[in-house]
Amino acid sequence: MESKMPEKTYGLALEKAKQDLQGRDPMMVAALSGATYEKLAASRGRFRLKFWEEEYVIDYPEVSVRDKSGQEPSTFIQILILHYLISADGTPSADKWISFRELPGGRGFYPAFQQQVSQPLARAFGHDAAGFIKAAEVLGGERLTFGSVSFLFRVFPRQWVAVVLDLADEEFLAWVNVLFDGAASHYLPTEDWAVVSELLSTRLCQAADR
């Protein structure tokens, strides 16, 4: 999704997301999402939100998204950030993991999800636990105890994704499962979680080559 869809495909979605955020109470948005909001004037302010360990600034009500260097990130990153701010309803963590199939509408897209997210990870790391550990740590992953090796990645302040690797052996092929917090649908629509997951898969594979 990061590599297969041109920036212009996201143009209309970005404009709609900006409009949707402009219609919301910024203080409530911050409270529900875990972002911070700083009032700069009577009707102006600024959100600060961590996405993947990097802080982004979202000016309001203009709704411009900038990274720490003051540059606009890619269009699809802007959309993910704005969709999170719009969708977050403050639901507490469900304290359980669910698969992509269990997200609303996820079952129908699961074969594509496997092809674009899980299978590239299985090919890259199915025989290389050390490489997976190295890549996950580069991305700030936190070690879990599932499977052969697993890590948690804090995508947004109140949402995270886990990647579970079961290594190949003489009897079974390698298997990778990407898991979400049970409250994930309260913070992003399913199609956005697919984009987040493909971004994570791509970054892990790239980190292994460093």
d(CA 29, CA 90): 9
pTM check: above 0.85: yes
d(CA 127, CA 36): 42
pLDDT for position 41: 82
Q: How far is CA 128 from CA 152, 165, 166, 171, 208, in A?
A: 18, 10, 10, 17, 10
CATH topology of domain 97-208: TATA-Binding Protein (3.30.310)
Residue with tokens 């009897």: 171
**E strand or H helix that includes residue 147:** none
Residue with tokens 């992953």: 141
Domain boundaries of the chain, sorted by first residue:
7-87, 97-208
Half-sphere exposure of residue 171: CA atoms within 13 angstroms, side-chain side: 1
pLDDT for position 2: 41
pLDDT for position 3: 42
* Helices 11-22 and 75-87, packing angle to 10 deg: 30
For 159-175, letters b (16+ CB in 10 Å) and e give bbbbbbbbbbeeeeebb
pLDDT for position 162: 98
- Residue pLDDT tens, the chain, 210 long: 444 444 566 789 999 999 999 989 999 999 999 999 999 987 899 999 999 989 999 999 999 999 999 999 999 999 999 999 999 999 999 989 999 999 999 999 999 999 999 999 999 999 999 999 999 999 999 999 999 999 999 999 999 999 999 999 989 999 999 999 999 999 999 999 999 999 999 999 999 877
